[in-house]
Chain A
Amino acid sequence: MLIRTFVPRFFIKIKGVNTLVKDKSVLEMRNIHKSFPGVRALQGVDFTLCEGEIHALMGENGAGKSTLIKVLTGVYGKDEGQIFLKGTDNEVSIHSPQDAQRLGISTVYQEITLCPNLSVAENMYIGRTEGIGQNWKKMNRDADKILQSLDIPAKSTQQLASCSIAVQQMVAIARAVDMDCKVLILDEPTSSLDEQEVAKLFKLMRELKAKGVGIIFVTHFLDQVYEVCDKITVLRDGQLVGEYEIKELPRVQLVSKMLGKDLDDMSDIRSESATYDKEDASTLVFEANELVSDAGIKPFDFYIKKGEVNGFTGLLGSGRSECVRAIFGADRVLGGTVKKNGKTVKITKPLDAMKNGIAYLPEDRKVDGIVGDLSVRENIILALQVLKGFFKPFSKAETYKFAEEYIKLLGIKTASADTPIKSLSGGNQQKAILARWLLMNPEYLILDEPTRGIDVGTKVDIQKLVLKLASEGMSVTFISSETDEMLRTCSRLIVMRDRKVVGELSGDDLSQNKIMSTIAGGGRE
């Protein structure tokens, strides 16, 4: 990887079948192989993208999606296989992201890779101005023209950081489009966007599609795939499962193809688990009155019973996370009273909450959850160890016992307990963090977006686990952006709008429509 053999910039190989097979296709990848030490990441994968097509690339984490993308964009060199592009008669060699860009392959990543402190126009033209001089006026004018044509609500002179994440994402796309791209790769572009922003992004994608751009769309959100895509290519374990027209592949089948097994009907998971019905089921495990933190939420009341699963719902930014952070003491608590099992307690910092048997799995796994360079084992024992105290470390043997127990229990896929957690896939990282809190054996578990950005199989596992824990008497607060997940798991939903609790739904009221109308303003005020 490090020492790349020097290859002339315009090196093109001629060999065997050397044209595109289909008329309409802009990109064909044939029989792509790529191995890493110990892993065969891609084994003979074919992929075809047509003009004016939005093509979903699906697969669980570790299926080979990102490797395929990285081969296509020149980040990795391929071991075997051929890549053909429209407009070039022969097979193309892509040795670096610059090569890919020159050939008209552009990528927009999940994490914004632009410079937030530069202006929108500067971001669009950075690194591709010719010569030293720069006609700023012209640059801004051109940028505005493109922004307008794509209906992107940003001004060329605006600082990028002042735009919302969604607009930043769109600017990244505009930059890619303006570079005359034939193939646009969107790698998880929607994971930090709210629904309206997603809708805008989709509008933009459809416009590009109309202009004949081929779009490869990588996402975990099934809804979005069915909303915007034309075709789906499914990968599993580095192999091609198949390419399907969207109409021909119902959701359940897609999921089962991704998992490689027939899935129990996901909507049934609730009925599988028994609910907690001991006599102490009405005990209030946790209660908050007029709780308010410095994160900008309005004071709110909250309670949870023993063995109950409830949840906060609302749009992104409505204050769901801020509420649970206030409960856990993760933000600075400014006021309100808190009771644990009927007794007033003081929770001003996370350690207080932990001492009271409250656990919190944070929303942002990378930033707040994992301690990347530490091993899976250390990550799992961290919270319990902190609770136990500075002068009372667990013995190595104990930590291995704990870690291995939970690795097995939750099915965490890791080479060993000593593997750094950052080298695990997102879903397995999430499981390890979950293990961390379960190890603490909390009375009250808060899960903030535990299913975001992880594969479908793990999502189901986590939902099942939540219900199982509740049936054993644990109280759980569950937050998810995907309402159907919440409907499946929660028996009571607290609805939020504009950083304020605006309603509560339970029993028969628990439905998509009811939630939507409450969020929109139909509920209790």
Chain B
Amino acid sequence: MQTNTQKPGIGKVGTKIFRQQIFIPIAALLLLAIFNLIRDPSFYKITFGYNNLGDPVLSGSLINILDYGSELAILAIGMTLVTAASGGQDISVGAAMAISGSVVLRVLCGTNTRPETLQAPIIVAFLVSCVVAMLFGAFNGVLVAYFKIQPMVATLILFTAGRSIAAWINNNELPIISDPSFGYWGGFIPGIPIPTPFFIAVACMIIIALVLRFTNLGLYTQAVGINESSSKLNGLNPAFIKFLSFVILGLCVAVTGFIKVSRFSTINYSVIAKDIEMDAILAVALGGNPLGGGKFNISASIIGAYVIQFLTTTLYALKVPSDALPAYKAVVVIILVVLSTPIVREWLNNLWKKMKSKQIKEVA
């Protein structure tokens, strides 16, 4: 039965809004925003000041959200593509970030863990880490695409071994970089009061938007994710598309790993980017993307990522007792994810229509 051949005029606008994939993350964002507005309007206060080095900085909760949410947003881009193409998730991104961050430090420090000067230009270190992270992405990609191992199982390998590899890259030492220019990438560039990670995230968003606009990555990825067999008969190479999505995620991992090590100019192998894969997957889910693959909407995932950070910052501002923090987060996440399922959205849709028709009846 075709249910949407012709929609009745009543509630058409509402229906449309509820059907939009991007509705859920935006609704969640608004909900959190309104909650904070009622709770404490000063949450939105942004102050302009100077840090201890005398450089101008903006501070306030919103700035924090932009700052810390950006890494997650970048990861969400890659995770969305992997999810869409392979119908599974990469759980090794946190470990892979430890590796790529470790590589950055290794290149910058050379053999000395506490160098006075950088041993290589920052851009070189970054590019090397990109290559390494893409190689590890390719490793995952080969396992998933060519050996047809379930993504979660395939990436479990790197998830388990990644942090040890990261530590091994620097001989278990903790390199610390004293050159302040390295800290700009995870902090502030002197003279610019907005945190750099936000600019990096925007750059990534622009790049992915251009890629989606000027290539067929979106169409191919969705086609492969929805129907691999059919894609193959249309001349696509599904294995390669899946492989590619993991390599792209590898690139995203390199960028976020770079930001992470830049934040403190050092690394803690066991703690850095811990559990970030779960947040990244959650961002994809919050964006309303089916976790079984197929259609995707990267903008929705990106908003989903900022929603997660919004939630974290709100909980910190609420000073939720520490033992209860994960529980609160879990409850909110459950609500958001349930809201984003098609079943509930359909239900909301019907509810909206009923309300509308009732109104009309009352008017008449």
Q: Are A and B in contact, CB atoms below 8 Å, in the complex?
A: yes
Give the interface of A toward B (CB within 8 A): 1-3, 36-39, 41, 62, 66-67, 328, 330, 349-351, 354, 360, 362, 367-374, 378, 382-383, 385-387, 389-393, 415, 419, 423-425, 436
CB–CB B2/A374 < 8 A: no
What residues of chain A lie closer than 8 Å to B295, measured between beta carbons?
373-374
CB of A66 to closest CB in B, whole Å: 7
Q: Does B288 contact A (CB under 8 A)?
A: no
A423 near B346 with CB under 8 A, answer: no
Contact B5 A38 (CB under 8 A): yes
Residues of A close to B6: CB separation below 8 A: 38-39, 415
10 contacts between A and B (CB under 8 A): A37-B3, A39-B3, A349-B235, A367-B227, A368-B233, A374-B223, A378-B219, A386-B236, A393-B214, A436-B234
Residue in A372, A382, A392 whose Cβ sees the most chain B Cβ within 10 Å: A382
A392: chain B residues within 8 A (beta carbon)? 216
Using A62-B1, A415-B2 as known contacts, say yes or no to A393 and B233 having CB atoms under 8 A apart.
no
Q: Across the interface, which residues of A come within 8 angstroms of B237, CB to CB?
A: 349, 351
A327 to B: closest C-beta gap in Å:
13
Q: What is the CA–CA distance of A424 and B4 in the complex, to the nearest angstrom? A: 10
Instruction: Name the residue on B nearest A64 (C-beta).
Output: B1
Among candidates A371, A385, A389, A419, residue contacting B230 with C-beta atoms closer than 8 Å: A371
Chain B, 335-352, CB within 8 A of any chain A CB: 343, 346-347, 350
Chain B residues with Cβ below 8 Å from A436 are: 234
Contact residues, B277-296 vs A (CB, 8 A): 294-295
Closest 6 pairs between A and B when the two form their complex, measured CB to CB: A351-B235, A386-B235, A38-B6, A371-B227, A415-B5, A371-B226
How many B residues touch A, CB cutoff 8 Å?
35
A-B contact count (CB 8 A): 115
Given contacts A36-B1, A393-B214, contact A371 B223 (CB under 8 A): yes
CB within 8 Å of A: which of B194-248? Answer: 213-217, 219-220, 222-223, 226-227, 229-237
Q: Least Cβ distance of B268 to chain A in Å?
A: 40
Q: Name the residue among B229, B230, B295 with the largest chain A CB count within 10 angstroms.
A: B230
Q: B361 at the A/B interface (Cβ < 8 Å)? A: no
Residues of B within 8 A of A371 (CB): 222-223, 226-227, 230-231
A385 near B216: Cβ-Cβ < 8 Å? yes
B39 at the interface (CB under 8 A from A): no
A314 to chain B minimum Cβ distance, whole angstroms, is 22
Q: Are A41 and B233 in contact (CB under 8 A)?
A: no
Given A382-B234, A386-B235, A415-B6, 14 further pairs, Cβ under 8 A: A39-B1, A39-B2, A328-B233, A330-B232, A349-B237, A367-B227, A369-B230, A369-B233, A386-B220, A386-B234, A390-B216, A390-B220, A415-B2, A424-B2
Given A37-B7, A385-B219, A393-B219, A67 and B235 touching (CB < 8 A)?
A: no
Do A415 and B219 have beta carbons less than 8 Å apart?
no
User: Could you tell me the distance between the alpha carbons of A385 and B1 in the complex, rounded to whole angstroms?
Assistant: 30
Asked whether, in the complex, the Cβ of B219 is within 8 Å of the Cβ of A382, the reply is yes
Contact partner of B350 among A2, A328, A425, CB < 8 A?
A: A2
Chain B residues whose C-beta falls within 8 Å of the C-beta of A36 in the assembled complex: 1, 3
B8 within 8 A of partner (CB):
yes
Assess the A370–B350 pair: CB atoms within 8 A: no
Chain B residues whose C-beta falls within 8 Å of the C-beta of A368 in the assembled complex: 227, 229-230, 233
Contact, CB under 8 Å: A37 / B4: yes
Chain B positions within 8 Å of A391 at CB level: 214-216
Q: What separation, in Å, do the CA atoms of A385 and B214 have in the docked complex?
A: 13
In the complex, A371→B236 CA distance in Å? 13
> Is the beta-carbon distance between B230 and A62 smaller than 8 angstroms?
no
**Residues in A whose Cβ lies below 8 Å from that of B219:** 374, 378, 382, 385, 393
Q: How far is the CB of A192 from chain B (nearest CB, A)?
A: 17
C-alpha gap A38/B343 in the complex (Å):
19
Rounded to whole Å, the gap between the CB of B316 and the closest CB of chain A is 37
Instruction: Compute how far the CA of A419 lies from the CA of B3 in the bound complex, rounded to whole angstroms.
Output: 11
Q: A residues within 8 A CB of B222?
A: 371, 373-374, 378
**Is the Cβ of A38 less than 8 Å from the Cβ of B235?**
no
Instruction: Give the residues in chain A near B234, CB-CB below 8 Å.
Output: 350, 382-383, 386, 436
- B contact residues around A39 at 8 Å (CB): 1-3, 5-6
Most buried by A among B222, B223, B232, B237: B223
Q: Is the CB of A350 within 8 A of B1?
A: no
- What's the Cα separation between A328 and B1 when bound, in Å? 34
Residues in chain B near residue A330, CB distance under 8 A: 232-233
Nearest CB on A from B353, distance (A): 8
Q: Are A382 and B1 in contact (CB under 8 A)?
A: no
Q: Are B231 and A37 in contact (CB under 8 A)?
A: no
Q: Find out whether the CB atom of B2 lies under 8 angstroms from the CB atom of A350.
A: no
A415 cross-chain contacts in B, Cβ below 8 A = 2, 4-6
In this complex, the member of A62, A372, A389, A393 whose beta carbon has the largest number of chain B beta carbons within 10 angstroms is: A393
| Bound-state Cα–Cα, A369 to B234, Å | 9
Does A387 contact B235, Cβ atoms closer than 8 Å? Answer: yes
A291 CA / B233 CA spacing, docked (Å): 19
Q: Mark B1-43 against chain A: 1 for CB-CB distance below 8 A, else 0.
A: 1111111100000000000000000000000000000000000
Q: In the bound complex, how far is the Cα of B229 from the Cα of A423, in angstroms?
A: 20
With A38-B8, A350-B233, A373-B294 in contact, is A66–B216 under 8 Å at CB?
A: no
Does A3 contact B347, Cβ atoms closer than 8 Å? yes
Evaluate contact between B2 and A425: CB separation under 8 angstroms.
yes
List B contacts of A66 (CB < 8 A).
1
CB <8 Å contact, B235 and A354: yes
- Min Cβ gap A384→B in Å is 10
User: B216 and A67: CB pair below 8 A?
Assistant: no
Assuming the A-B contacts A62-B1, A371-B226, A423-B2, are A37 and B216 also in contact, with contact meaning beta carbons closer than 8 angstroms in the complex? no
When distances are taken between beta carbons in the complex, the residues of chain A under 8 Å from B353 are 37
How far is B220's CA from A350's CA once the two chains are assembled, in angstroms? 15
Give the nearest-CB partner of B211 in chain A.
Answer: A391
Q: How far is the CA of A370 from the CA of B2 in the complex (A)?
A: 17
Name the residue in A67, A349, A386 with the highest tally of chain B Cβ atoms < 10 Å from its Cβ: A386
Q: Which residues of B contact A389 (CB under 8 A)?
A: 216
Q: How far is the CA of A312 from the CA of B5 in the complex (A)?
A: 38
Take A370-B227, A391-B214 as given contacts and tell me if A383 and B235 are in contact as well, using a CB distance cutoff of 8 Å.
yes
Contact A370 B232 (CB under 8 A): no
Least CB distance, A64 to chain B, in whole angstroms: 9
Question: How close is B205's CB to chain A, nearest CB, in angstroms?
Answer: 19
> Once bound together, how far apart are the Cα atoms of A393 and B213, in whole Å?
8
Are A373 and B226 neighbours in the complex by a CB distance under 8 Å?
Answer: yes
What residue in chain B is nearest A422 (Cβ atoms)?
A: B226
Bound Cα distance from A378 to B226, whole angstroms = 12
Q: How far is the CA of A386 from the CA of B234 in the complex (A)?
A: 7
Q: Complex formed: what's the CA distance from A39 to B8 in Å?
A: 10
Please, how many angstroms separate the alpha-carbon atoms of A67 and B3 in the complex? 12
Within 8 Å CB of A386, what residues of B?
216, 220, 234-236
B1: A residues at CB distance < 8 A: 36, 39, 41, 62, 66-67
Centre residue among B5, B6, B213 by max chain A CB count within 10 A: B5
Within 8 A of A (CB), among B314-330: none
A252 CA to B215 CA, complexed, in Å:
51
Q: Which residues of B contact A350 (CB under 8 A)?
A: 232-235
In angstroms, Cα B213 to Cα A372, docked, is 22
* A contact residues around B343 at 8 Å (CB): 2
Contact B215 A2 (CB under 8 A): no
Q: Are B3 and A38 in contact (CB under 8 A)?
A: yes
Q: Which residues of B contact A351 (CB under 8 A)?
A: 235-237
B7: nearest chain-A partner, CB-CB: A38
The docked-state distance in angstroms from the alpha carbon of A506 to that of B220 is 42
Q: How far is the CA of A251 from the CA of B93 in the complex (A)?
A: 63
